[in-house]
Structure 1
Amino acid sequence: MGIQKLTIGDVELDNSYILGPMAGVTDLPFRLLCREQGAGLLCMEMVSAKGILYNNKNTESLLAIHPEEKPVSLQLFGSDPKIISEMAKRIEDREFAFLDINMGCPVPKVVKNGEGSGLMLEPKRVYEIVHATVKAIKKPVTVKIRKGFDDDHVNAVEIAKIIEEAGGAAVAVHGRTREQYYSGRADWDIIRQVKEAVSIPVIGNGDVTSGEQAIAMRKQTGCDGIMIARGAQGNPWIFSELLAYERDGSIPPRPDVVQIKETMLRHARLQIQYKGDYLGIREMRKHVAWYTRGMHGSTRLREAINKVESYEELEKCLEGLDHRE
């Protein structure tokens, strides 16, 4: 069986599996690891449109793109159509394939400003933001949304139609409301409803952690692409597994402890290369916790990792890793 491709705007992806944007996770080092495992598209961490406007120094590092990770999707968040569209124009010459607008982030400080999933409550503003951005740049503009804001405002279908009408090239739908955050089950039926309502590509997101689940989501929803976010934490191999399962129904063996350890250390070296010793190692702490979930002694290891301050200390900490429980 061949691998299903995905075309968004004028860009054809090698496959339909996408690394979803996660703040503090989908940075350049992690994206490179996921690309090696076959991810068809990599979404960057969300970037504040105002951060670009005011030349925030932390924003510049978030905008870094490596030639080997392309194609990537650069995601902006904000609530002002003028600022978002103008900042999209300002950075358009950078090496990203798509400009994505975040309308799904559930974090209180983002929602409080009417940004992220707060925009799901403002259909008119959704249109204005997407329309202004599509007019401002030549690259395809995509949008990530949720099922709705809460159970009283399940409006993904309405919002997706508005996005299409405003010129959006694709929409990614997370099957949970903002109020759910990441709890409970993702509602795949809302993804199906969106797919039936619009003609632009629809990317399904929520609760896919295996090839079987990916195929099940595709069958149930008819979605054009599948976005993997939390399922990739500590698990860049998920992309090669999804591709293997789609190709011939095979389930590759999970990486052994030696492979996981080598990947963690390589991940740490990349973190240090791009972020320096201090930040690089500290940011690795959460990744190590994810990589070692379910391993023998992982609780003790996490406690030790939280005190690690250098690559050598990390290496020493990981010496004792053995079998999975």
Structure 2
Amino acid sequence: AGAATDAGGLAQAGAGIAMGGAEVARRSLLGYQRTEEVTADRSAIAYLERTGQSGRGMLRTFERLGRDVALAGINVDPYQISHPMPRERIANLKALVENSRFADRADPPELRLRHDLMRAKIAAYTGGRNAAARIFRNDPQGLPALYADAISTYLQGSPRDALAKVDRLIAMQPSNPYFHELRGEVLIKANKPREAANAYAKAISLAPSPSGILQIGHGQALLATGAPDLIRKAASELKAGLSREPEYVSGYRFLAQAYGQLGEIGAAELATAEGNFHAGQYREAKSFAARAQQKFRQGSPEWLRAQDIINYRAPGRQ
């Protein structure tokens, strides 16, 4: 209205009001998100209560976060963030943890070992040998430290040394599927695909539930053998694995190779389209989907999946 009547002061005031309204809305949204985070914290403690576990570990994690913020010397406006301040979360959690009847209960040794093995794997893949060594410096010969060392050796390109270390792990825990999985990875790098396929098959048989990641590894190893009688099985394993892990982008490349070797070009192009789609490369995905669709019967599951990719509109795009 101010702009329409050439009233500059009124126009500026209107702009200020509009901006202020947007800021109020933004702060309201952030306030809602902070409330949701508090609810999530309470839910976490409730779940631990149901499983008979202590929440002290969660409390220590937030105390560590609080120290990090304090040491960073950052002045944070509590109304401008989407999470509660660490000190607020700590105060809320402390009351909940202290009132729990499981506050002082320690986790079972087998659960702690599983957790440490997970930490070892993440540290080795993301931070390297030194990161894992820092985490397990108090027990350098324990199973988690040895697991991290085997992974680091494999990643540094020493298949023979890595294989010896993995075999030591398997001797210590013969029924651990993830040690056999690592053995399969090492053997693929060592250009021993048949042995790798056997290692992945063993891992799959030991896994407590079907694992798409293990199936994709098995399919990759079977494909790498180059044996014509194993290509069909490789395609089947890769397809089954990707149905459980649809965002495992590199798996589609192996699946496309398998279908290509089988002479199923339409299926190979559709697998390539899927890989590009899950990688966010939508233009390439649509191109391969259109090519694949021409090779399938109209209305078939493959044709319809290709059509879904062709019709997809990325968020924010028209």
Structures share fold, TM-score greater than 0.5? no
Structure holding more helix per residue = 2
Q: TM-score, structure 1 length as denominator?
A: 0.30
Structure holding more strand per residue = 1
